[in-house]
């Protein structure tokens, strides 16, 4: 009766909403009952759970239930978290090495054994060889460390063209200085037996003998220099002693004959010596100071005899000691002070003027040379009584010829006592 009254008071919208809810509830009940019937029918068809008690624990079937079917267990993951797809296993588990199975589809018999990894360096192309070798040789001329060159060569895969390193190094030294040729001879000696064999060296020098007509275009003295290289290499056991014998009567090139004859002459002259250490001389700062002083004295004495300024300049450049040119200036001034007459003075001024104009002697070296004489003038005066007056005259002439600066001329020390014209001149100083 109450329901009728409530229904009688509903509005049409509320009544329609209530009916929709009842229909939806009936559909859910129908769907749930149909699914239970289909499940029971499927199990009864398979015969697994037919006739089972639906109220017993074993009678309930839940396909997605991960709990123990026996009612035991604590609800923890299986295998302590070590199982499942894509996992590393339990913490602290150590896996042993597994032997390859011959029945494995991926088994490769040829791939078994120790795997060796090696760095493969591509072989240097013959066209790129010169571009790679030239910087190595040029840097060696600066630092002179043969071990560094040896290390760099071992890092390159020169292949069958490694003998060409020797010929390229010698070619570059022919265009350089005497010190470069000395360094090249030392380099060949240190590389022999370690990086390059005697056969490689012989092949390199044979190639250079054939290339002499082209080398002469840049270096006219190439045949003589190459002969000295061959003689030094034979003395250093870089080349075999029979190297020259292989060319007797078999050389048609005139330049090659000159080189081989030069080597034969040097080996004959130095037969008593184990090494031809002085074939190039010792250039640059490698020479001892006493030897450099002796060479400069000899240079100046030859100049006073011949008067050839160009030859003196050539000899000074060959010494390759621009930082030691102040010694030459010092020796020039001392020779002028110890000489008799004005001939030596004028010749030395001419020499210094030439060196000054060509830039062979710098301002600093010129000043240092004269200043050394200024400092030692009291000691020089003991052996040369008129050293002060000769020095003043020479300094004035050098300044007039623009060899020295005005500051250097004014720094020249004068006599210890004043020079008067006469006793009764009233104290006028002689100019």
Q: Determine the 3-state secondary structure of 266 from DSSP.
A: helix
Could you give the residue ranges of the DSSP H alpha helices within 270-341? 289-306, 309-319, 325-338
Task: Please provide the CATH number assigned to the domain covering 289-411.
Answer: 1.25.40.180
The structural domains of the chain, with segments of one domain joined by +, span 126-278, 289-411
Please state which architecture CATH assigns to domain 126-278: Alpha Horseshoe (1.25)
Q: What is the pLDDT of residues 382-396, one digit of tens each?
A: 888 888 889 999 999
What pLDDT is attached to residue 80? 62
Please check the confidence at residue 159 and state whether its pLDDT lies above 70: yes
Please check the confidence at residue 44 and state whether its pLDDT lies above 90: no
What pLDDT is attached to residue 14? 85
Q: What is the pLDDT of residues 72-126, one digit of tens each?
A: 666 666 666 666 666 677 777 777 777 777 788 887 766 666 666 677 777 877 7
What pLDDT is attached to residue 8? 57
φ, ψ dihedrals at 12, nearest 5°: -60, -40
> Given this chain, do its domains 126-278 and 289-411 carry the same CATH topology?
yes
Q: What is the pLDDT of residues 336-348, one digit of tens each?
A: 999 887 888 899 9
Give the span between the Cα atoms of 394 and 337, in whole angstroms.
9
Residue 136 banded pLDDT, cuts 50, 70, 90: very high
Place of tokens 């020169």: 158
Handedness of CA 166, 168, 172, 174 (dihedral sign): positive
Please check the confidence at residue 418 and state whether its pLDDT lies above 50: no
Please check the confidence at residue 65 and state whether its pLDDT lies above 60: no
Give the span between the Cα atoms of 83 and 353, in whole angstroms.
98
What pLDDT is attached to residue 51? 47
Q: Are 281 and 178 in contact (CB under 8 A)?
A: yes
Place of tokens 């623009």: 402
Q: Are 150 and 188 in contact (CB under 8 A)?
A: no
Give the span between the Cα atoms of 19 and 131, in whole angstroms.
97
Average pLDDT over residues 283-298: 77
Find, among 330, 344, 342, 341, the residue nearest to 301 by Cα: 344
Please check the confidence at residue 47 and state whether its pLDDT lies above 70: no
328 vs 427: which has the higher pLDDT: 328
Q: Determine the 3-state secondary structure of 158 from DSSP.
A: coil
Structure tokens of 202? 């012989």
What pLDDT is attached to residue 50? 47
Please check the confidence at residue 54 and state whether its pLDDT lies above 80: no
What pLDDT is attached to residue 6? 47
Residue 368 banded pLDDT, cuts 50, 70, 90: very high
Average pLDDT over residues 3-21: 73
Please check the confidence at residue 237 and state whether its pLDDT lies above 80: yes
Give the span between the Cα atoms of 102 and 28, in whole angstroms.
60
Q: Are 250 and 215 in contact (CB under 8 A)?
A: no
Residues contacting residue 430 through CB under 8 Å, at least 6 positions apart: 419, 420, 421
Give, as one character, the DSSP assignment of residue 125: P
Computed over every residue of the chain, the mean pLDDT equals 80
What pLDDT is attached to residue 290? 83
Q: Are 142 and 174 in contact (CB under 8 A)?
A: no
Percent of the chain whose pLDDT exceeds 70: 76
What pLDDT is attached to residue 329? 93
Average pLDDT over residues 370-387: 90
Q: pTM surpassing 0.85?
A: no
Average pLDDT over residues 151-163: 85
């Amino acid at each position: 009766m109450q329901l009728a009254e409530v229904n009688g008071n509903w509005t049409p919208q509320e009544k329609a909403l209530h009916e929709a809810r009842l229909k939806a509830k009936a559909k859910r009940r129908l769907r749930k009952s149909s699914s239970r019937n289909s499940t029971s029918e499927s199990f009864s068809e398979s015969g697994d759970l037919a006739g089972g008690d639906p109220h017993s624990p074993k009678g309930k079937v839940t396909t997605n239930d991960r709990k123990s079917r026996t009612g035991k267990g604590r609800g923890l993951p299986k295998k302590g978290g070590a199982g499942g797809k894509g996992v590393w296993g339990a913490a602290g588990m150590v896996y042993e090495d597994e032997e390859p199975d011959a029945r494995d589809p991926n088994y490769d018999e040829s791939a078994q054994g120790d795997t060796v990894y090696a760095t493969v360096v591509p072989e240097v192309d013959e066209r790129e060889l010169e571009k790679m070798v030239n910087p190595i040789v040029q840097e060696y001329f600066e630092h002179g460390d043969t071990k560094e060159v040896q290390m760099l060569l071992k890092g390159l895969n020169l292949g069958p063209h490694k003998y060409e390193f020797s010929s390229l190094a010698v070619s570059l030294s022919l265009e350089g200085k005497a010190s470069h040729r000395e360094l090249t001879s030392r380099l060949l000696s240190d590389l022999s037996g370690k990086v390059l064999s005697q056969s490689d060296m012989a092949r390199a020098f044979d190639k250079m003998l054939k290339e002499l007509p082209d080398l002469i275009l840049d270096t006219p003295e190439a045949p003589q220099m190459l002969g000295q290289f061959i003689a030094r290499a034979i003395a250093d056991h870089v080349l075999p002693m029979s190297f020259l014998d292989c060319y007797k009567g078999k050389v048609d090139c005139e330049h090659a004959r000159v080189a081989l004859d030069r080597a034969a002459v040097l080996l004959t002259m130095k037969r008593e010596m184990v090494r031809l250490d002085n074939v190039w001389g010792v250039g640059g700062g490698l020479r001892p100071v006493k030897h450099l002083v002796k060479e400069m004295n000899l240079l100046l004495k030859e100049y006073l005899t011949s008067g050839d300024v160009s030859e003196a300049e050539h000899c000074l450049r060959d010494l390759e000691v621009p930082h030691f040119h102040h010694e030459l200036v010092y020796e020039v001034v001392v020779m002028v002070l110890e000489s008799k007459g004005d001939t030596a003075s004028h010749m030395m001024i001419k020499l210094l003027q030439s060196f000054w104009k060509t830039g062979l002697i710098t301002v600093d070296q010129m000043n240092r040379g004269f200043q050394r004489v200024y400092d030692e003038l009291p000691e020089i005066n003991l052996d040369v009584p008129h050293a002060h007056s000769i020095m003043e005259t020479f300094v004035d002439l050098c300044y007039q010829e623009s060899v020295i600066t005005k500051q250097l001329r004014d720094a020249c020390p004068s006599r210890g006592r004043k020079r008067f014209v006469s006793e009764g001149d009233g104290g006028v100083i002689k100019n």
